[in-house]
Structure 1
Amino acid sequence: MAIYVDNVKIKWQGREWCHLVADSLEELHGFARTLGLKRSWFQASASYPHYDVTIEVRQKALYLGAHQGCRRTIISCAKAMKAEQIALLHKPAPQQLSLFFENNAYDKS
């Protein structure tokens, strides 16, 4: 498993920004916490799941073990995380909950 950060340097609000991705959503969120990023900053609805980070945060990420990601790597991780995100959204309710709803003891009708 690995964390990747690109070097696209998108200019926005007077700063330069990059993308932080990983091999899995769990790993991405864990590393983002380590960097001090808020979970609400996660770009879940973007074309691919990622965190936007400034050049300064990019440097910190690299120092903490993130890899410089080329376009191919970033896209590959992004596709995998998007598929993971979709699978999580369509994951069935846990067995215990579905049993509760099927055999609701509170339903006296």
Structure 2
Amino acid sequence: MTVYVDTARDYADRGLRFDSYCHLLADTRDELHAFAAAVGMPRVAFQDHPWRWHYDLPAVLRPRAVELGALEVDLHAVGALLRARRASARPA
């Protein structure tokens, strides 16, 4: 199983707590929650959705995520992961 982190994007004009965020994703929810906790993300920051579940990770925590083993991916890889999740979430 793998944890993924994508490129940070700037949200400075949105009035959020941090100016830049990236997505933290994993192959399973349990793995994602455990990894997010290890990086310092509170569970309340989890973005729950049937197939787009993830954490919006402040860019300041991205180096720690990579240090702990998160695989750096681009938006195309994130899209592929989410499309696969969506396909598996559909009823047969």
TM-score range, shorter chain: 0.7 to 0.9
CA contact (8 A) 2:7 2:75 kept: no
Unaligned stretches of 5+ in structure 1?
Answer: 88-109
Q: Number of residue pairs matched? A: 87
Tell me the C-alpha RMSD between the 2 structures: 2.5
Q: Which residue of 1 aligns with 2:3?
A: 3
Structure 1 residue matching 2:52: 3-state secondary structure = coil
Q: Show the 5 A alignment for 1:43-82.
A: 43-45=47-49, 48-81=52-85
Unaligned stretches of 5+ in structure 2?
Answer: none
TM-score of the two chains, using structure 1 as the length reference: 0.65
Larger radius of gyration: 1
Structure 2 residue matching 1:57: 3-state secondary structure = helix
TM-score of the two chains, using structure 2 as the length reference: 0.76
Identity of aligned residues (%): 33
- How far residue 71 of structure 1 moved from its aligned partner, in angstroms, is 1.8
C-alpha offsets along residues 47-95 of structure 1, whole Å, 9 cap, x if unaligned?
71110011111111011110111223212333455577x59xxxxxxxx
Amino acid at match of 2:6: D
